Amino acid sequence: MDGIRGRLTADAPLAPLVWFKAGGRADWLFEPADLEDLRDFLTRLGGDMPVMALGLGSNLIVRDGGVPGVVIRLGKAFATVEARRDKVLECGGGASGILVSSKARDAGVAGVEFLRGIPGTVGGFVRMNGGAYGREVADVLIDCDVILPTGDFVTLPTRDLEYTYRHSALPEGAVVVSARFQGREGVPAEIGEEMDRIAAAREASQPLRTKTGGSTFKNPVGGKAWQLVDEAGCRGLALGGAQVSEKHTNFLINTGDATSADIEGLGELVREKVYASSGVSLEWEIQRVGRP
């Protein structure tokens, strides 16, 4: 790896990098200096090692056995947002939803306020078709640039991602390095008011000041996951150091010393209870990665 300019760390702890503050280590963690550094690094690997991109770790359970291969974490060089002509936003894969929506507000670009409510990065919510408050990435994405595990650079239009609810056809191991979103003409003050409304709604309804993840389960067709969890008597249910949030029952929290096995095990227990109560089999929305 002579000439690689980014930081490459062996046996790197991942718990400090994810919202749950639990889980194992990455075999390797690579934080590239820039796009060319990332391409060079992956080209040298030649697709012979598993690759996983890590954003803010807000919707992720890293299992206690750690993550095989290489975890890619995009830093400051990828956290850029630029408003272009025709109300198009050019965003780096490491830019947060808050940064994208704030830059859009300042430039008078409406239509992406909902990104204020997604606690993740562009790379993460492009992969997951992230959404909040009635809108999702599929509504605004034009296309995205990705680096494949082989180091190849490709641009994928929205149609190629085959978006469904919280899912895309993005190739396994692909790293989203940039994306373009289509906004519309707006008034900064009005955009700011909508962002403030979204922020207040999240603060009022979600356990944001705890060690938690994003929404645990996908909403079933015609229903709400939180309501099914509540009706199954799971509010406050605990397993080891993990607990179903009292504030919002579609969130799990680490009360202090939870292992990832506690968190995932609690989620499976909730699924069992919901199925017994309602006959609905909830699907995980939180991504679970790594070795048990």
The rounded distance, in Å, linking the Cα atoms of 137 and 128 is 9
Burial class of 36 by CB neighbour count within 10 A (0 to 12, 13 to 18, 19+):
exposed
> Which residue out of 73, 127, 166, 271 is catalytically annotated?
166
Active-site option among 31, 113, 264, 285: 285
Dihedral over Cα of 108, 112, 118, 120: its sign: negative
Per the annotation, the verdict on 166 as an active-site residue is yes
> In Å, how far from its chain's centre is CA 19?
11
Question: What DSSP line would sit under 65-94, residue for residue?
Answer: T-EEEEEEE--GGG--EEE-GGGEEEEETT
**Strands of the chain, DSSP E:** 7-13, 25-31, 51-54, 60-62, 67-73, 81-83, 88-92, 109-110, 131-132, 135-136, 141-147, 153-157, 175-182, 184-185, 211-212, 238-239, 242-244, 252-254, 287-289
Active site residue 73: no
215 has catalytic annotation = yes
Strand partners, 12: 26
> Which residue is catalytic, options 58, 215, 245, 260?
215
Strands, E, within 125-186: which ranges?
131-132, 135-136, 141-147, 153-157, 175-182, 184-185
Among 282, 276, 288, residue whose Cα is nearest residue 221: 282
User: 61 forms bridges with which residues in the sheet?
Assistant: 288
Amino acid making up residue 189: A
User: Which residues carry out catalysis?
Assistant: 166, 215, 285
